[in-house]
Structures are given as C-alpha cells and as structure tokens.
Structure 1
C-alpha cells in the first residue's frame, strides 16, 4: 500500500465526520490563543480559572437556598479576603525569609566546606582534596548563578510593579463578573460554536466534573500540605518555616517528582540548623509522615474519581506541558492529559472502521 493510500485510509477513518473537523479546528484555535496570546490575556485566563474553581461553591450555596447574586457576593468576598491575606501577610513573610536565607548562604557554604574537609581527614582514601576543590568550585558557580538570577528577578519585579498592581485589580473584577454573568457569557460562547456539537458536548460533560474536581482538589491539597508543613516546621523550631512550607505545598503540583525535590531544601535547612542529631531525625521523620499521609490519604480522598492515568502518562504530561507553559502547564498537565485521553476515546471514526472489533493481542506471547 502506498503512502498516499495509507494517508487516505487514515484520514477517512478519523476525519470522515464533519464534527471531527470542526472540533479539531476549535482545539487548534484554542491552543494557538493560549500560546500566542497567553501573556497578553494572562489576567483573563487567571480569572477564568479562579471563577471555575469558585463556581462549585456558588452552586452549592444556590442549592441550599441562597439567591444567585447573594451566593456570588458571599463567595467573592471570601475570595477577596483570602487574596488580601495572601498578599499582605503570607507573601511578605515568605519574602523576608527568602532574603534571610540568601544572606545566610555564605555561612552555610563555609559550614559545608569545613564538613567536607573533616570528612576528608577521616576518610582520606574516599575523599581527596582534589574532589573537595572540585565540589567547592561547582557549588560556588551555582551559588553565583543563583544570586545573579535572583538579582535579575528583583530588578525585573521592580520594573513591573505597575503591571502587578493592574493585575491584582483586574483579576478580582473579572472573577466577579465571570461568576455573576456566567449564564449569559455561556450562552454567548455557545452561540459562536456550530449548531451541531454532539461530540463537543459529550466531551465537555465528561471533562467538566474531572477538571473542576482536579483544580479545586489541587488547590485544597496545596493549602493543606503547605499549611501543615509550615505548622510542623514551626513546631520543631526550624527556620524559614513559611518558605519551606510554601515549597512543600507547591511540590504537590508535580506528582512523584515534587516530593523528592522538596526534600532537599527541607533536609538541608534542618541539617544546617540542628546538625545530624535527634532533632534533625524528628524533622525528617515528620516530613516523611506528611508526604505519606498526602499520598495515601489526602490524594485518594480529593481525587478518587478525577484522575485515571498511568504514572508514566502523568510524568510525560508534566514534562511536556510544563516545558510549553511553565507553572500553568505543570498545574494543568493532568487535566490536559485527561482531555487528550477523552478525545482519543470519543473521537468519531468512520462507521465501517468503528464497528470493526479491535484485534485481540495475547500478552503472554
């Protein structure tokens, strides 16, 4: 069979349905808008995500007898209070601890060098002076590059203060109107789509609950894990507890990898502050218990039906979408992978091909 015939057969199988072509066009335009207009429309996309998260609470209040507008006002005021608390209490505390940690880095660096020299004295055949010099030089280069990145970020942030203020004003306003006028905005959006949208409707209903549950569940997981980590570190007297709690909370965005990466700063700060004694062991054990409870108790409760993907698919989705869209790509990697899976399963095929049974493959051979 020639390549032309193969391509023709493939095209007839997957694009013989008119709605499949329309759906493909909608998906391409949607992804193109996010890729090329993402920075410009970032406040709108952020507000859309937040409104999507809050809509579930608004619907719950409506089901319990509150009018629509009153439900929106209650949820919006709670959201605004949490946003102000984050901006005025949490972020300044985290920033101050980050500054203290940067200032403390030279002393930590000196302590590591002294410890390596001590280990070289005890085990001269295992650790040589040349290895110590190489490690110290590498660590020094990495510290210098990290400082340069931090300085660049600080200067860029100073230049974008006005943009940040505009962002903080626009997002709450957009969230309010997206919640308040949800039905009219939905009708307007649907009017732009073709009348025949059976496939799109089926995929939307299939994905709506999963995406909503995932986004809300992930936000709740970040808050619970980050807050519990902060309280745990503060209880043991670990410095930079707010900064470390934020790192541990955000680590849940990247399944499997995030927990391992967050272990490094926690263990490093605990080791520098307490030494390798009992207190260090207590902190590491408490952190391990927190991660175990998150993976074996909290995640099954929050995402019991939301995610049904193989771990390899999840890791590939995190790497791919994170490489394209950064933080938001990592955050939405699992919903996007679930969407792709739903598209593959629901994509219309030609009647002749669709009705044929799939070949049976014996995995024992």
Structure 2
C-alpha cells in the first residue's frame, strides 16, 4: 500500500510558508512601524555589543555589571568624540547655514540662470530662474519635513538604550527560554536556526558599520583634495547614507552638489563630484564589501533589488536599510527549516 504523503511535505504547505514569510513582515512593518524600528535598532546594538559583554563576563564579572561597564565605556568614548568633533562640525554646520541664507541664494540663482542661459542660448534666463526657485522651495519643504520626522524619530528612539540593556543582560536567558518551550522534535532544528540567524546578522551588522566608516573616510579625503568646504560633515553624510543599498551614494552626493554650487557659484564641480561618487561606489563594491563581508550575503541581486523596493514602500529610507537583514532572516529560516525537516525526519507521517 502506498504511503500517504504528509501535509507538511505538500506543495500547498510550502506555498503557504512562502506567502506568510512575505506577508507577515510587511504587515508588521506597516502596522507597528515605531515599535518595530525600536526593536530592530535594539537588536542591532545587542548583536554588536554582545561579544564584548561576553568577554567581560568570562573574566568573572556578573553579566549585568558587564553590560553596565560596556555602556559606561561607550558613553565615555561618545562624550570624548563629541567634544573633539563638535567644534569642527558645529562650525561647518554654522557656515553651511549662513551659506544658504535667502539673500545669498537669490544672488546665486540669478548668476546660475545667466550662466545656463549663456551656455544654452535657447533657454531664457527668467524661465530658468523661476524653475530653480521652484525647485529650491520644493527641496526646502522636503528637507523641513525630513528634519521634523528625524526629530520625532530621535525622540521615539530614546527608549532604545533601556531595551538594549535588558536584551544584553538577559540575552542567553531569553534564548534558553525560547528553546526550552519548543517541542522536543524541533529542539535541534530550532537551535540550529537561531545560531545561523545570529551568525549571519552579527557579521552583516558589524560589516556594515566597518564599511560605512571606511567609505566615510574616503569621501572626506576626496572632498578635502577637491577643495570642497565642510568636507568632514559631507564625508560623515556619505558614510551614513552608504548603508542604503543602491540609492545611498547618490543621496549622499546631493548635499555635496548643493554646497559646491554655493561655494563656487556654478556647476563646475558637478562632474568631479559625480566621478568621485561612482569611483567610491566601485571601490566599495570591488574591494571593501568582499573584504569586510567575506561573501556571507548569498543573495540574488534581483531578489535584493525587489526586497529593497518593498522596504522603501513600507518604511521609506529606513525600510531600504532594514530590507536586506530582514530578508536574510527569512531566507536563513526557510533554508534551515527545510533542511531540518528533512535531516531530522520531522514531517514523516
């Protein structure tokens, strides 16, 4: 008599799992956006800091005190860093604000419209001026909304350090509690899935931080060599926006172009900035990413592009940043679950 096929091996079950893997994260993202963001950042900090906390704990320090020592050390480093960088950054930010005063922008737009009209005679300077003014107003409105949203996000994220502290303190307790509540037949598979997810995310997060720092330093050096003002601030922006897949480098180039237009009064730096952006992106893709990530992210480029689009539609820029690690968790879970079901013969009738 032919053995009846288990439902858990059926095509319908696999289709259901894939559908839920796609639909559930989208639903959670769209419904609990702020809560999800807080948890993701807290988990990220936990993955970054956990090895250091483990090292201190292994020296005989109780875990909560080890976490406290790490927080104190990081706070001290942050304070020293802010004290060293704040004068430079605040001075450059102040100069940027002054450079974008209404009077100076009006003069700059008039000069720029005349230059464009002289280069392209069939374009009228008045029409160019009106278009530039309109674009500037639109950019100002968008920048204002983005700043307001950023301030709101910063206020919301004030709770992150507290959640991170408790996650670090009770990390292994939570892990053991989760595994302990799993049925015996799923124990080994669940343990393997947790290990693989933790390993992949830890490498990805640490690699991303290292990559951003290196890219930011390269941008700063290039902007200094090109004679662009506020190179330190612009380099920091370039390193920060680099975490956004695909679009990040180009987003980071926008403030650079605006600064150069104000600084030089024309578009002479358009091509050098574009070349620098493309060059740094190529250096990142060809040398930095392979060295830092060591091929840990085995993701199809088309799939990556699609999940980034979904992330953008769901959470905007933050969704683009989180899309790849979330997809990685789903992919690792699906692969390891499929492997575990076969390896441990869980689905056999």
TM-score range, shorter chain: 0.7 to 0.9
Match of 2:319 in 1: 329
Match of 2:220 in 1: 230
**How does 1:182-197 map onto structure 2 within 5 Å?**
182-191=171-180, 194-197=183-186
Alpha-carbon offset, residue 92 of structure 1 = 5.0
- Write the deviation string for residues 235-279 of structure 1: whole angstroms up to 9, x where unpaired: 5542232442233113322334333443454355346535677x8
Contact 1:229 1:290 in 2 (8 A): yes
Q: Write the distance in 2 (CA, Å) between the matches of 1:190 and 1:97.
A: 55
Query: Which of 163, 167, 183 matches 1:174?
Result: 163
**How does 1:138-217 map onto structure 2 within 5 Å?**
138-152=131-145, 164=154, 167-168=157-158, 170-191=159-180, 194-197=183-186, 198-217=188-207
Query: Which of 122, 129, 133 matches 2:123?
Result: 129
Pair 1:202–1:93, CA change in 2 (3 A) = farther
- Does 2:243 match 1:253? yes
Q: Write the distance in 1 (CA, Å) between the matches of 2:246 and 2:332.
A: 23
Contact 1:230 1:241 in 2 (8 A): yes
Alpha-carbon offset, residue 302 of structure 1 = 1.0
Contact 1:46 1:171 in 2 (8 A): yes
Alpha-carbon offset, residue 112 of structure 1 = 2.0
Q: Which runs of 5+ in 2 are unaligned?
A: 1-5
Alpha-carbon offset, residue 216 of structure 1 = 1.3
Query: Which of 13, 16, 26 matches 1:15?
Result: 13
Where 2:34 maps in the other structure, the secondary structure is coil
Residue range with higher mean Cα deviation, 330-339 or 210-219: 330-339
Match of 1:79 in 2: 74
Contact 1:225 1:248 in 2 (8 A): yes
Q: Write the distance in 2 (CA, Å) between the matches of 1:226 and 1:139.
A: 30
Where 1:254 maps in the other structure, the secondary structure is coil
**How does 1:306-317 map onto structure 2 within 5 Å?**
306-317=296-307
Q: Write the distance in 2 (CA, Å) between the matches of 1:9 and 1:71.
A: 48
The normalised TM-score by structure 1 is 0.70
The normalised TM-score by structure 2 is 0.73
Contact 1:51 1:175 in 2 (8 A): yes
Contact 2:34 2:156 in 1 (8 A): no
Pair 1:241–1:173, CA change in 2 (3 A) = same
Pair 1:62–1:155, CA change in 2 (3 A) = closer
Where 1:255 maps in the other structure, the secondary structure is coil
Q: Write the distance in 2 (CA, Å) between the matches of 1:187 and 1:31.
A: 28
Contact 2:217 2:239 in 1 (8 A): yes
Q: Which runs of 5+ in 1 are unaligned?
A: 1-7, 355-365
Give the paired residue count. Answer: 329
Alpha-carbon offset, residue 346 of structure 1 = 4.4
Q: Write the distance in 1 (CA, Å) between the matches of 2:290 and 2:91.
A: 32
Q: Write the distance in 1 (CA, Å) between the matches of 2:110 and 2:216.
A: 30
Contact 1:203 1:346 in 2 (8 A): yes
Q: Write the distance in 1 (CA, Å) between the matches of 2:200 and 2:228.
A: 38
Q: Write the distance in 2 (CA, Å) between the matches of 1:337 and 1:301.
A: 22
Q: Write the distance in 1 (CA, Å) between the matches of 2:146 and 2:277.
A: 30
Contact 2:222 2:276 in 1 (8 A): yes
Match of 1:114 in 2: 114
